[in-house]
């Protein structure tokens, strides 16, 4: 065993995990941060712990898919090729993080590993087709479910939850650092129902972060695990630690993009987005599919913003000479609500989420098909 190649592989795996932390913290806790429930530091802490739990419990199933099933002959995963695959994945994800857009780690990783299989003639097309089908179905489902909720049910949910949309000088939930064990401190200005809703946003974000760990840990360690040199648990701990570092550092830009730039999310909207995206990701992870986590979350946010922007409301009828007059004498005439998401930012997010996986796939294929250091 080449110790230098092993060290390089571990370093690159940590590099991928670092970028995963930057890419996936935004979709998990962007709604909570954008709604003023928690700050970036608390979001990163919750992300780190829940990601680790997901990686150690359900994560092995998705690792097996990428390390054993997608490539018919796992022998092509040498230390050299594994390090190269991980380097391509990490570099592509870094491109998305630099642009402030949470690129899909699963699409990027599957693209790079599939390029290796294609270059070596060992790609299992049936497994790739099954993954691709779910990648198409899940984001569309997230968009339309969120859109329907935003268009037809959002006012009722807002009334039922009774969560006040307010601008806060500090997050509603913060950490009290006194003593050896940090404790959550709840804002004194919030009533009981608003606090319950805020804690629900955090809880759902934790579930989403857990689901991210079940799926995305494979993107950081599957190529190295396929070599058989290191067991799963040490690799999972390494990958999760790197994710935590990314969550505390470069995730700030994606938190801003997903929580503020695309749509101004009040607490009710944050709960809707988190429930939909977490549910779909957990379902895909249960099936063993490397879920396109950030795409599902992003399309859910866009769908909710679109649904709310196109929602129609009834104008009040003037009965005493005050208030707006009905249009054309029709007291039931309607008008669309203002647009609540930024189309420019949305287009940039969707574009980069497709560009990054393409860059990884094409780059990996060229490297393994024509690179002088790789002969199969």
Among 212, 163, 307, smallest CA distance to 20 is for 212
CB-based contact 53:210 (threshold 8 Å):
yes
Among 132, 141, 145, smallest CA distance to 289 is for 132
**CA dist list (Å): 194 to 171, 204, 205, 308, 351:** 13, 15, 17, 21, 36
Burial of 192 (0-12, 13-18, 19+ CB in 10 A): exposed
CB-based contact 69:336 (threshold 8 Å):
no
pTM value? 0.77
Residue 57 pLDDT level (bands cut at 50, 70, 90): very high
Residue 25 pLDDT level (bands cut at 50, 70, 90): confident
pLDDT digits (tens, 9 = 90+) for 154-208: 888 877 765 554 455 566 666 665 555 666 666 555 567 667 767 777 888 898 8
Q: What is the model's pLDDT at position 307? A: 87
Instruction: Please state the φ and ψ torsions of residue 375, each to the nearest 5 degrees.
Output: -130, 130
Average pLDDT of the residues in 130-143 = 92
Burial of 330 (0-12, 13-18, 19+ CB in 10 A): exposed
Residue 316 pLDDT level (bands cut at 50, 70, 90): very low
Compute the mean pLDDT over every residue in the chain, rounded to the nearest whole number.
79
Q: Please give the DSSP secondary-structure letter assigned to residue 69.
A: I
Whose structure tokens read 């997608």? 70
């Amino acid at each position: 065993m080449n110790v230098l190649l092993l060290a390089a592989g571990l370093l690159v795996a940590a590099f991928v995990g670092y970028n995963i932390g930057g890419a996936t913290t935004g979709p998990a806790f962007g709604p909570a941060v954008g709604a003023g429930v928690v700050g970036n530091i608390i979001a990163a802490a919750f992300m780190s712990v829940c990601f680790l739990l997901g990686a150690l419990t359900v994560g092995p199933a998705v690792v097996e898919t990428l390390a054993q099933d997608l490539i018919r002959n796992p022998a092509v995963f040498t230390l050299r090729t594994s390090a190269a695959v991980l380097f391509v994945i990490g570099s592509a994800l870094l491109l998305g993080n630099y642009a402030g857009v949470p690129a899909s780690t699963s699409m990027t990783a599957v693209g790079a590993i599939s390029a290796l299989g294609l270059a070596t003639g060992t790609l299992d097309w049936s497994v790739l087709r099954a993954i691709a089908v779910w990648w198409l179905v899940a984001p569309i489902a997230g968009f339309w479910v969120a859109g329907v909720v935003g268009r037809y049910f959002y006012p009722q949910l807002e009334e039922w939850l009774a969560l006040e949309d307010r601008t806060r000088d500090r997050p509603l939930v913060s950490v009290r650092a006194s003593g050896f064990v940090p404790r959550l401190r709840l804002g004194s200005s919030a009533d009981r129902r608003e606090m319950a809703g805020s804690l629900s946003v955090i809880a759902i974000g934790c579930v989403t972060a857990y689901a991210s760990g079940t799926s995305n840990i494979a993107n950081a360690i599957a190529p190295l695990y396929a070599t058989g040199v290191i067991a799963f648990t040490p690799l999972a701990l390494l990958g999760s630690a790197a994710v935590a570092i990314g969550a505390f550092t470069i995730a700030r830009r994606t938190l801003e993009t997903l929580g503020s730039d695309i749509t101004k999310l009040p607490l009710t909207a944050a709960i809707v987005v988190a429930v939909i995206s977490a549910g779909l990701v957990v379902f895909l992870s249960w099936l063993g599919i490397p879920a396109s986590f950030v795409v599902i979350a992003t399309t859910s946010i866009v769908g909710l913003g679109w649904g709310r922007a196109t929602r129609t409301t009834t104008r009040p009828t003037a009965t005493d000479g005050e208030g707006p007059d009905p249009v054309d004498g029709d007291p039931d005439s309607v008008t669309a609500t203002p647009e609540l998401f930024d189309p420019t930012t949305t287009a940039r997010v969707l574009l980069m989420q497709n560009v990054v996986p393409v860059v990884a796939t094409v780059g990996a294929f060229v490297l393994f098909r024509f690179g002088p250091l790789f002969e199969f």
